[in-house]
């Protein structure tokens, strides 16, 4: 990465870069001296990020850029009297006033968002004002308020799992909860279809997500389509489906700039291990074969999943070579379940009171993999695989107050030891499932960051710089 402030050296790949003070904007802000934007420019793709936080919010500097700005198509600029200004894609992602234009908020989600913008009032009413701290981490106050409130009045059937509750009831409860948890992106085109499952089994339901304006092929053009991400939903291999993760996949398509194929799979206890693995492999193979027909780039096919879906994404990456399939371009594992032995410190320390409990994990484990002998199978516990050296560039995302935190960290370290380019990002103040908690502003922004990072990783697959992507 290069840092340029308008008075520094011209970075490679650009013919000109001019930064001029936006006097009218500075005056409007009451500043005597105009400020300058600091731009971070990726040497390979020219992706631009504003470093000065003020510049991204209000456009404190105007920038004129000529040259190639990478496969995002460059920043979109518009004319104002006296200057060109650059509009950064990240501003539309993170400025709530702009992004809400492309969102539809269900009334319950809107009410929850308003409620948890005042966590102090919620916690005060519940008599739980003290911050929650563990191992030097402090739980986000709005997340703490959400946990406190759901602990008093929230449903437990979809959160904990119990042999006393029919799985179909748990699934219906989770659908109801997710319908009120996330805004719905309206700038994404969604189509559903069924694809062949493994031989002799049921067809697999999939949904294809594409942000409007992306992936439309132009006759005679040599420009490839967007990368495509095969997404596997979470839910302990027992609950969850295409509906529960619809809003998350819409956000992923919009924030990453990639096409997204969300793949369903057979659930336990009706279909125990390894049915989910077989379906995940079949879905990945189908996308690999049909990516061009979908309008995506068949050379850039990645995998991503959360929780149980992160487990399946990791397994697909490991098995692709054995199945004579091209390895994924990249993989993103979001608070993944990777070790069925359940012997980590985070399982012990965060196993109660932080949304996902040890009791629930044990229920999902014995429901999905009834035989203890299979707990050590790498298709169930990918952390135990003997050889990780052939895996693709990886993004591992964990949460500080998640029982599965240490498994993700251990996998990232194992990948790094095997020579795989990997980034580990721990969201210290979050809990398991935060990717679906769009009613908390900071949590929704973190989820957007994860999706955007996966899009960048997919695009940089041919130019991966290990020094810039060390384990953190």
pLDDT digits (tens, 9 = 90+) for 249-307: 999 999 999 999 999 999 999 999 999 999 999 999 999 999 999 999 999 999 999 99
Mean pLDDT along residues 149-161? 67
- Cβ neighbours around 125 below 10 Å, total: 11
pLDDT digits (tens, 9 = 90+) for 380-437: 999 999 999 999 999 999 999 999 999 999 999 999 999 999 999 999 999 999 999 9
Q: Which residues, including other chains, have CB under 8 Å from residue 179's CB and lie 6 or more apart?
A: 106, 108
pLDDT digits (tens, 9 = 90+) for 104-126: 999 999 999 999 999 999 999 99
CA distance 10 to 179: 49
Contact between 322 and 378 under an 8 Å Cβ cutoff? The reply is: no
Contact between 263 and 204 under an 8 Å Cβ cutoff? The reply is: yes
Kindly tell me the burial class for residue 402, based on how many C-beta atoms sit within 10 Å of its own C-beta (0-12, 13-18, 19 or more). buried
- The answer, yes or no, to whether residue 184 has pLDDT greater than 70, is yes
Q: What is the mean pLDDT of the chain?
A: 81
Please identify every residue annotated as catalytic.
307, 402, 432
- pLDDT of the residue at 90: 65
Structure tokens at 236: 């302990």
Structure tokens at 65: 């850029």
CA distance 329 to 464: 11
- The answer, yes or no, to whether residue 465 has pLDDT greater than 70, is no
Structure tokens at 111: 């009410």
Q: What are phi and psi of 286, to 5 degrees?
A: -65, -45
User: What is the C-alpha end-to-end distance of the chain, expressed in Å?
Assistant: 17
- pLDDT of the residue at 352: 95
Structure tokens at 75: 């920043």
Mean pLDDT along residues 66-73? 31
Q: Which residue has the tokens 């169930």?
A: 380
CA distance 321 to 412: 20
Mean pLDDT along residues 20-45? 33
CA distance 75 to 62: 13
Structure tokens at 329: 């371009």
Domains and CATH numbers, the chain: 2-94 (no CATH), 167-469 (3.40.50.1820)
Distance of CA 109 to the CA centre of its chain: 20
- The answer, yes or no, to whether residue 156 has pLDDT greater than 90, is no
List the one residue out of 318, 366, 306, 319 whose CA is nearest residue 342.
366
Mean pLDDT along residues 327-342? 98
For 267-354, strand residue ranges (E) read: 301-306, 331-334
- To the question of pTM greater than 0.95 for the whole model, the response is no
- The answer, yes or no, to whether residue 49 has pLDDT greater than 80, is no
pLDDT digits (tens, 9 = 90+) for 198-227: 998 999 999 999 999 886 655 456 778 899
List the one residue out of 274, 312, 291, 212 whose CA is nearest residue 458.
291
Mean pLDDT along residues 7-24? 38
């Amino acid at each position: 990465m290069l840092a340029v402030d308008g008075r520094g050296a011209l970075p490679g790949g650009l013919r000109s870069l001019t930064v001029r003070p936006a006097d009218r904007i500075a005056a409007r802000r009451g500043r005597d001296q105009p400020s300058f934007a600091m731009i971070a420019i990726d040497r390979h793709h020219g992706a631009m990020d504003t470093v000065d936080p003020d510049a991204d919010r209000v456009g404190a500097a105007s920038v004129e850029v000529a040259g190639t700005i990478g496969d995002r198509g460059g920043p979109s600029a518009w004319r104002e009297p006296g200057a060109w200004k650059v509009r950064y894609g990240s501003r539309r992602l993170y400025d709530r006033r702009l992004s809400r234009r492309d969102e539809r908020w269900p009334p319950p989600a809107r009410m929850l968002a308003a409620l948890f913008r005042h966590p102090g009032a919620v916690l005060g009413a519940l008599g739980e004002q003290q911050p929650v701290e563990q191992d030097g981490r402090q739980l986000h106050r709005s997340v703490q308020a959400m946990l406190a409130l759901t602990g008093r009045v929230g449903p437990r059937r979809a959160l904990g799992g119990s042999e006393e509750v029919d799985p179909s009831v748990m699934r219906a409860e989770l659908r109801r909860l997710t319908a009120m948890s996330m805004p719905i992106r309206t700038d994404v085109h969604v189509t559903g279809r069924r694809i062949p499952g493994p031989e002799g089994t049921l067809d697999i339901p999939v949904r294809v997500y594409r942000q409007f304006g992306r992936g439309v092929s132009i006759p005679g053009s040599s420009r490839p389509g967007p990368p495509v991400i095969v997404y596997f939903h979470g839910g302990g291999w027992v609950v969850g489906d295409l509906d529960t993760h619809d809003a998350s996949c819409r956000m992923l398509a919009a924030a990453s700039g990639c096409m997204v194929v969300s793949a369903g799979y057979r659930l336990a206890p009706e279909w125990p291990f390894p049915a989910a693995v077989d379906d995940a492999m079949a879905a990945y193979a189908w996308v690999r074969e049909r990516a061009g027909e979908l309008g995506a780039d068949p050379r850039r096919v990645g995998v991503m999943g959360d929780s149980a879906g992160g487990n399946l994404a990791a397994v697909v990456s490991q098995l692709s070579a054995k199945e004579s399939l091209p390895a994924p371009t990249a993989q993103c594992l979001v608070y993944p379940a990777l070790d069925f032995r359940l012997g980590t410190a985070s399982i012990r320390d965060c196993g109660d009171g932080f949304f996902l409990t040890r009791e629930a994990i044990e229920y999902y484990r014995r429901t999905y993999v009834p035989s203890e002998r299979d707990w050590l199978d790498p298709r169930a516990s990918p952390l135990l695989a003997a050889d990780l050296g052939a895996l693709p560039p990886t993004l591992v995302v964990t949460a500080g107050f998640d029982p599965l935190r240490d498994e993700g960290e251990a996998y990232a370290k194992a990948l790094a030891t095997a020579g795989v380019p990997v980034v580990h990002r721990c969201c210290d103040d979050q809990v398991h499932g935060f990717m679906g908690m769009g009613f908390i502003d900071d949590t929704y922004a973190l989820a957007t960051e994860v999706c955007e990072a996966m899009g960048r990783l997919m695009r940089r697959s041919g130019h991966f710089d290990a020094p810039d992507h060390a384990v953190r």
